[in-house]
Amino acid sequence: MPPHHSLAILTNSNRMRAILARVDTIAQSDTSVLLVGETGVGKELFADYIHRLSPRSHGPFVKIALSAMPHDLLESELFGHERGAFTSAVTEKKGLFELAHTGTLFLDDIDDVPPGVQVKLLRVLEMQQVMRVGGNLPLPIDVRLVTASKVDLRELVRRNTFRADLFYRINVCPVEIPPLRERREDVPLLVGHFLRRFSPQRGLSLSEAAERALVRYDWPGNVRELRNITQRLALFSEGEIGVRDLPPEVQDGHAVDLLVKACTRCLVEESLTYAQVVACLETNLLRQALAESDGNRSRAARLLGLSLSTLRDKLKKHGLDEDGDPSAPDLDCVGA
């Protein structure tokens, strides 16, 4: 099945395809949308995607990262102010709700909105009109609201740090965006996309081992982290990108992680003896470490926490030394 690439969202993940199909339907309505996902998963991209698919695509798309806005300026930023409303208000200013009139307003990090602003935000959403700071005339607004949170707002409601009535007002159509570690099949697709984007003329590609290392990495910063790393690779790499070109945190695997990936059958197959299980695990663990290190034995030893001499002894014991083929499949065990 070809990757889903509606507008600007690329994916090979069936889970993401299902989410995008739902979002395609939601976008055609005018309901409020709450995007929930970890930092860096692409919530702003989803908000823009919803706007461009919606009947409001002709109107403005206005966005703000609420966590980056000082609380004492937030009310003026959202709702605007009249001249003389406070000391520095030398001119009148339209707020973001006014600027987004007939379009879409994206409020990122809605979980960071202070309680006082939550009350006024709820009033604006319910009345469909805004009152500027220092003003006395309500201004009608026609805005489709998309909000985003990096945490589960239900938990904040339980802690009484987020208003329940505001939560129910913005949670009409919730969309949970999974982190990149839960859709690892997207990593090669996204890396290829970013390499072409940042270095279109250089024809950069990934070695198989580098691709495996990138897929194995947990991506705590999600797609944003992947984009930044790929941009760095595009700047400094030539030709095929190998494991040695990757950042240290991506290169380094953990022996336990490699062990789990090395073999699944021998961990559950009851017919194997203890000696067979140990041999199976160790053989596949050695194969995996060699593959992850592009055949570099010093690095493979570091991955496994072994000395180089111990690694050589084990390779010889299992027939994986210079005379053996470390990439050959294991007939006794089915790899993960």
For 193-216, what is each residue's pLDDT tens digit? 999 999 888 889 999 889 989 998
Predicted confidence at residue 334, as pLDDT, reads 34
Predicted confidence at residue 260, as pLDDT, reads 57
Predicted confidence at residue 1, as pLDDT, reads 52
d(CA 273, CA 276) in angstroms, rounded, equals: 5
Residues 48 and 154 reside in one and the same domain: yes
Q: Are strands 129-130 and 139-140 parallel, antiparallel or unpaired?
A: antiparallel
Gyration radius of the chain's alpha carbons: 26
CA 171 to chain centre: 21
Structure tokens at 255: 């022996």
The dihedral through the CA atoms of 27, 29, 30, 32 has a sign that is negative
Structure tokens at 95: 């707020």
Instruction: Assign residue 40 the CATH number of its domain.
Output: 3.40.50.300
Residues 151 and 247 reside in one and the same domain: no
Structure tokens at 19: 């989410």
**Does residue 148 sit within a domain?**
yes
Last residue of a domain, one of 193, 226, 251: 251
d(CA 105, CA 103) in angstroms, rounded, equals: 7
Predicted confidence at residue 326, as pLDDT, reads 41
Last residue of a domain, one of 204, 232, 251: 251
Are 213 and 251 in contact, with CB atoms under 8 Å apart? Answer: yes
What is the span of the domain harbouring residue 282?
A: 255-317
Predicted confidence at residue 259, as pLDDT, reads 57
Residue linked to tokens 């339209």: 94
Last residue of a domain, one of 197, 226, 251: 251
**Predicted structure pTM score:** 0.73
Q: Are strands 80-81 and 240-241 parallel, antiparallel or unpaired?
A: unpaired
Return the closest-CA partner of residue 251 out of 240, 241, 259, 261.
241
Residues 92 and 131 reside in one and the same domain: yes
Predicted confidence at residue 324, as pLDDT, reads 40
d(CA 44, CA 25) in angstroms, rounded, equals: 18
Structure tokens at 109: 């990090």
Predicted confidence at residue 329, as pLDDT, reads 36
Predicted confidence at residue 134, as pLDDT, reads 72
Residue linked to tokens 């973001």: 96
Predicted confidence at residue 170, as pLDDT, reads 96
**Does residue 37 sit within a domain?**
yes
Q: What is the longest distance spanned by two Cα atoms in the chain?
A: 86
Which residue positions in the chain have pLDDT lower than 50?
A: 2, 5-6, 323-336
| Helices within the chain (DSSP H only) | 14-27, 43-53, 71-79, 96-99, 115-127, 153-158, 164-170, 186-198, 208-216, 222-236, 248-251, 255-262, 265-268, 274-292, 297-304, 308-317
**Does residue 232 sit within a domain?**
yes
Predicted confidence at residue 333, as pLDDT, reads 36
Neighbours of 131 (CB within 10 A): 18
Instruction: Assign residue 244 the CATH number of its domain.
Output: 1.10.8.60
Residues 170 and 200 reside in one and the same domain: no
